[in-house]
Amino acid sequence: MGHTRVVIVGGGFAGYHAAEQLAKNTGPDETEIILVNPTDYFLYLPLLPEVASGILDPRAITVSLAGTLPTVRLVLGEVDRIDPEARYLTYTDPEDNTGSVNFDRLILAAGSVNKLLPIPGLATHGHGFRGVPEALYFRDHVTRQIELAAATNDQAERDARCTFVVVGAGYTGTEIAAQGPEFTRILAERHPELRDQEIRWKLLDVAPRVLPGLDRRLSNTATDVLRKRGVELLTETSISEATENGVTLDSGQQVATRSLIWCVGVRPDPLVQSLGLDTTEGRVTVDETLTVPGYPHIFACGDAAGVPDRANPGRLTAMTAQHATRQGKLAGSNVLASLRGERLNGYHHRDLGFVVDLGAREAAANPLRIPLSGFTAKAVTRGYHLMAMPTNRLRVAIDWLLEATTKRQCVQLGMVRSGTVPLDTSSPELPNLRGEQEAQSSVRT
């Protein structure tokens, strides 16, 4: 088939596994593979809450793209524009230089960003959970709130700083709310001033139960654990406004807090809407082979793609790591098949179950539809994550061992400030240094 160039946009679950599949099944003399990504690593996102709570080192869940995909050429940058007809894209690198890349085949795996709602003050005072900068900011922020609470004699201020509001009881929100109380307990134990201080964690969701998209038995397990840890569950509830001093619930109740963690869900990367391609529910429309209709040289997968769900006719596959991983592998295989004139395969999947880490010795899991809880679920959950990670398994396991046998390290590093992790961003994996500079400039003027 001659020398061809395949360009992959995005190095998340879908993009990484597409690149890996291509690299394993073709050689550099046959196909040039280029991966365009804002960072030089693949982030194992499901373990991000453990980075935020100080259990894992962020380097343990970041997988080097160049180190694990040696035959793939990495281009650092954010894609600005894709021309499907002329077959080229433009990008901006980390130093604001622009460049372009031509392609014979394109795999669009741009992923997703925080989902926003038109709630006054949300974009300013809320913080999401989609990248390492956000997790590091969260760790520093929570640590700082406990330390400032200990330093003040104003009881109202102390109560506000010791109140943490998590909106969204899906995977991420539930895991954060479950692990948060232990983290703040460890922090508060270092301050005698907080000996009798109540530390409150609230988990809100408009659904009637936590983990609304999963089996009710998993939801019940998570609910029991959350309540045992003192988390206040406010179902069928959201917020109507966020300010510097707190949030207003849609019931009208005021909650004084300095911490609003937004985990309501995700939306496709804004790049999708700029392409001029057909979309379904905001995601690039593809057929079952992951090909974009009318553009046989373009494939899309993962959260950016509206992939038909064979198991649920008329619906799209969920925006999960399981689907993204499998779709990435299929996209890689189908690209090679299209180049070689072979038959393309359709996407189908078997539900392997879900795992939710609830911190300490608790988890909820249903591998192969077998509901588990407690220590057994914890072992299955951690085993699943270790198997799913491309590398760094030993580093993660060592961090887990240290967490079980030593005191957790809890200090503010001050490396990520609030203005660098805005909720409304197309690149949660990158700190928005320009936004911080603008904020500081407005303060000075």
Lowest mean pLDDT among 106-110, 120-124, 363-367, 424-428: 424-428
CA atoms within 13 A of residue 147's CA, in its CB half-sphere? 9
Instruction: Report the alpha-carbon distance of residue 329 to residue 44 in Å, rounded.
Output: 16
- Judge whether residue 405 has pLDDT over 90: yes
Encode pLDDT of 134-156 as tens digits.
Answer: 999 999 999 999 999 999 999 99
Amino acid, single-letter form, for residue 337: A
Q: How confident is the model at residue 277 (pLDDT cuts 50, 70, 90)?
A: very high
- Judge whether residue 444 has pLDDT over 50: no
Instruction: Report the alpha-carbon distance of residue 166 to residue 101 in Å, rounded.
Output: 41
User: CATH top-level class for 4-38+77-114+267-340?
Assistant: alpha beta
- Judge whether residue 317 has pLDDT over 70: yes
Lowest mean pLDDT among 28-37, 73-82, 102-111, 365-374: 365-374
Q: How confident is the model at residue 295 (pLDDT cuts 50, 70, 90)?
A: very high
Percent of the chain with pLDDT over 70: 97
Instruction: Report the alpha-carbon distance of residue 245 to residue 439 in Å, rounded.
Output: 19
Q: How confident is the model at residue 355 (pLDDT cuts 50, 70, 90)?
A: very high
Average pLDDT over residues 271-277: 93
Instruction: Report the alpha-carbon distance of residue 109 to residue 42 in Å, rounded.
Output: 13
Instruction: Report the alpha-carbon distance of residue 266 to residue 425 in Å, rounded.
Output: 12
Q: How confident is the model at residue 278 (pLDDT cuts 50, 70, 90)?
A: very high
Question: What is the DSSP track for 387-400?
Answer: HHSSS-HHHHHHHH
Question: What pLDDT score does 434 carry?
Answer: 60
Average pLDDT over residues 198-224: 94
Sign of the alpha-carbon dihedral angle for 133, 136, 138, 140: negative
Instruction: Name the DSSP class of 37.
Output: E
Length, in residues, of the chain:
445
Q: Where are the domains of the chain?
A: 4-38+77-114+267-340, 122-264+353-420
Domain 4-38+77-114+267-340 and domain 122-264+353-420, same fold? Reply is yes
- Judge whether residue 349 has pLDDT over 90: no
Q: How confident is the model at residue 422 (pLDDT cuts 50, 70, 90)?
A: confident
- Judge whether residue 1 has pLDDT over 60: no
Instruction: Report the alpha-carbon distance of residue 304 to residue 280 in Å, rounded.
Output: 10
Lowest mean pLDDT among 364-368, 394-398, 401-405: 364-368
Average pLDDT over residues 34-42: 97
- Judge whether residue 28 has pLDDT over 90: no
Average pLDDT over residues 22-35: 93
Question: What pLDDT score does 443 carry?
Answer: 40
- Judge whether residue 437 has pLDDT over 70: no
Of residues 3 and 423, the one with the higher pLDDT is 423
Question: What pLDDT score does 414 carry?
Answer: 80
Average pLDDT over residues 278-298: 97
Q: How confident is the model at residue 410 (pLDDT cuts 50, 70, 90)?
A: confident
Question: What pLDDT score does 419 carry?
Answer: 80
Q: 122-264+353-420: which CATH topology?
A: FAD/NAD(P)-binding domain (3.50.50)
Mean pLDDT score of the chain, rounded to an integer?
93
- Judge whether residue 49 has pLDDT over 80: yes
Lowest mean pLDDT among 126-140, 161-175, 372-386, 426-440: 426-440
Instruction: Report the alpha-carbon distance of residue 317 to residue 332 in Å, rounded.
Output: 18
Instruction: Report the alpha-carbon distance of residue 203 to residue 229 in Å, rounded.
Output: 12
Q: How confident is the model at residue 39 (pLDDT cuts 50, 70, 90)?
A: very high
- Judge whether residue 73 has pLDDT over 50: yes
Encode pLDDT of 380-394 as tens digits.
Answer: 999 999 999 999 999
Find tokens 């899991």 and name the residue.
365
The rounded Cα 415 to chain-centroid distance in angstroms is: 20
